[in-house]
Amino acid sequence: MRVVVGITGGIAAYKAVSVVRAFVLAGHSVQVVATDAALRFVGKPTLEAISRNPVYTELYEGVAEVRHVAIGQSADLIVVAPATANFIAQLAGGFAADLLGNTILASRAPLVIAPAMHTEMWQNAATQANIATLTGRGVTIVGPAVGQLTGSDAGPGRMSEPEDIVAAALAVVDSPGDLAGRRILVTAGGTREPLDPVRFIGNRSSGKQGVAIALAALARGAAVTLIGANLEIDVPDTISVQNVSTTAELAAAVSATAADAAVVIMAAAVADYRPESVAPSKIKKESQGDTLNLTLVKNPDILHDVSATKRADQLVVGFAAETETDPDTLLALGRAKIARKGCDFLVINSVGWTTGFATDGNDVRILNATGDIVGEASGSKRDVANRILDVLL
């Protein structure tokens, strides 16, 4: 396999030597593309000796062979380790200011990046938005890990260990295609119930977990249909998306498509109630006084209805987002829910002001129909997605 290892300018660049060496020892042909800043941390002779190939850095070298696109076109896999905050921002913006940027833009190969930076930079809203953008495009993010950083500080931002990066990268291209021929329906996001043309009752779900499941299933060979309720994340064109807003619209879309699916995964956060009536114009506080009284009516129970009408050879997966923090009580809530809903599996996760919704990570337990724990996962939502699919298989 032809592997391009991109190296950007961070202190963790010295670890990239071990990444290159691991790919070479596994029998792969490795081409290193380093930025000028990367070579301030690790020398070109070292990288050439380990990779057994010339190291390219300059955009305007090798013009006759159109090197700035040829490397990317011939790659089977591209891994960038370390990926600095600056590089991540450039990648999210589609910039091609150097040879590495051109190589990536000119390639259709799977892209894996291993972020490395100080905690404050990793947690900065701009970096997190860029990571969300890249994840939505199907880029695999490995790490960062939590640990000692360059100075005396410690926290999230440390580059993952080389063996973990290589294993994750090889898993992307060595996916067994174990869902080939299966049609999977995934719902994602959060439904919104309008009060008037301006306001709505909703929830804080961004759709990240549902989209991660859809992308993971697609990578494993499934034919995926995604029903998105007010998604706050970009979805690659490789996935067919049907956009809905209200619970009623979601119910209708699921009813129309579920029959053809081998697996229905209900990851969307659904509003349990909706206003009995919707005001035709904006509700004015001047006309309401100090209080606004709303009458809410129960919405359709989509998960229950799909479970009740499913085929014998069909799997239905529900989600339970709970604010309960006690693990035993959380588990009891999940067992009660799967008994009520009648689905085959239930994914339980704890949510709160800063956990679960709109974050890049998740921590879940998976129950089967009898309430037994058959899987657990913690980490990125893509990792959680693959663990859920493993359990289903």
3-state secondary structure the chain: CEEEEEECCCCCHHHHHHHHHHHHHCCCEEEEEECCCHHHCCCHHHHHHHHCCCCECCCCCCHHHCHHHHHHHHCCEEEEEEECHHHHHHHHHCCCCCHHHHHHHCCCCCEEEEECCCHHHHHCHHHHHHHHHHHHCCCEECCCEEEECCCCCEEEEECCCHHHHHHHHHHHHCCCCCCCCCEEEEEEEECCEECCCCCEECCCCCCHHHHHHHHHHHHCCCEEEEEEECCCCCCCCCCEEEEECCHHHHHHHHHHHHHHCCEEEECCECCCEEECCCCCCCCCHHHCCCCCCCCEEECCCHHHHHHHHCCCCCEEEEEEEECCCCHHHHHHHHHHHHHHHCCCEEEEEECCCCCCCCCCEEEEEEEECCCCEEEEEEEEHHHHHHHHHHHHC
The amino acid at residue 156 is P
Final residue belonging to a domain, choices 118, 150, 173:
173
Mean of pLDDT values over 179-193 = 95
Range picked from 17-26, 202-211, 299-308 for highest mean pLDDT: 299-308
Asked whether residue 144 falls in the same domain as residue 293, the answer is: no
Task: Render pLDDT for 302-336 as a digit per residue (tens, 0 to 9).
Answer: 999 999 999 999 999 999 999 988 999 999 999 99
Q: Kindly state whether residue 52 falls inside one of the protein's structural domains.
A: yes
Strand partners, 158: 145
Instruction: Give the pLDDT score at 18.
Output: 92
Instruction: Give the pLDDT score at 66.
Output: 61
In whole angstroms, give the CA distance from residue 276 to residue 273.
9
Q: Kindly state whether residue 155 falls inside one of the protein's structural domains.
A: yes
Question: How is residue 245 written in tokens?
Answer: 């807003």
Asked whether residue 230 falls in the same domain as residue 269, the answer is: yes
Asked whether residue 206 falls in the same domain as residue 339, the answer is: yes
Task: Render pLDDT for 93-127 as a digit per residue (tens, 0 to 9).
Answer: 988 888 999 999 988 889 999 999 988 889 899 99
Q: Kindly state whether residue 178 falls inside one of the protein's structural domains.
A: no
Mean of pLDDT values over 14-29 = 89
Count: domains in the chain? 2
62 confidence band (pLDDT: 50, 70, 90): low
Asked whether residue 160 falls in the same domain as residue 225, the answer is: no
Q: Kindly state whether residue 133 falls inside one of the protein's structural domains.
A: yes
Asked whether residue 77 falls in the same domain as residue 188, the answer is: no
CATH label of the domain that carries residue 159: 3.40.50.1950
Q: Kindly state whether residue 22 falls inside one of the protein's structural domains.
A: yes
Is it the case that residue 216 has pLDDT exceeding 90? no
CATH label of the domain that carries residue 201: 3.40.50.10300
Q: Kindly state whether residue 337 falls inside one of the protein's structural domains.
A: yes
Lowest mean pLDDT among 51-60, 63-72, 331-340: 63-72
Asked whether residue 190 falls in the same domain as residue 169, the answer is: no
Distances (CA, A) of 139 to 40, 43, 136, 377: 27, 28, 7, 20
Asked whether residue 284 falls in the same domain as residue 136, the answer is: no
| Residues found in the chain | 393
Share of the chain above pLDDT 90, in %: 54
Is it the case that residue 149 has pLDDT exceeding 90? no
Final residue belonging to a domain, choices 142, 173, 204:
173
Instruction: Give the pLDDT score at 122.
Output: 92
User: Which pTM value belongs to this model?
Assistant: 0.62
Asked whether residue 241 falls in the same domain as residue 140, the answer is: no
Instruction: Give the pLDDT score at 108.
Output: 87
Mean of pLDDT values over 335-341 = 96
In whole angstroms, give the CA distance from residue 314 to residue 307.
9
Asked whether residue 57 falls in the same domain as residue 128, the answer is: yes
Question: How is residue 70 written in tokens?
Answer: 């040829």
Asked whether residue 258 falls in the same domain as residue 151, the answer is: no
CA 314 to chain CA centroid, Å, is 25
Mean of pLDDT values over 242-258 = 96
Which residue in this structure is represented by tokens 């891994």?
79
Instruction: Give the pLDDT score at 345.
Output: 97
Domain with 116, as residue range(s), is 2-173
Catalytic residues: 203
Asked whether residue 107 falls in the same domain as residue 152, the answer is: yes
Range picked from 159-163, 273-277, 324-328, 353-357 for highest mean pLDDT: 273-277
Final residue belonging to a domain, choices 173, 192, 217:
173
70 confidence band (pLDDT: 50, 70, 90): confident
Which residue in this structure is represented by tokens 């209805």?
305
Asked whether residue 249 falls in the same domain as residue 133, the answer is: no
Range picked from 69-73, 92-96, 132-136, 228-232 for highest mean pLDDT: 228-232
Mean of pLDDT values over 160-165 = 86
243 confidence band (pLDDT: 50, 70, 90): very high
Is it the case that residue 188 has pLDDT exceeding 90? yes
Is it the case that residue 74 has pLDDT exceeding 90? no
Share of the chain above pLDDT 70, in %: 96
Distances (CA, A) of 35 to 53, 60, 91, 280, 343: 16, 13, 14, 58, 51
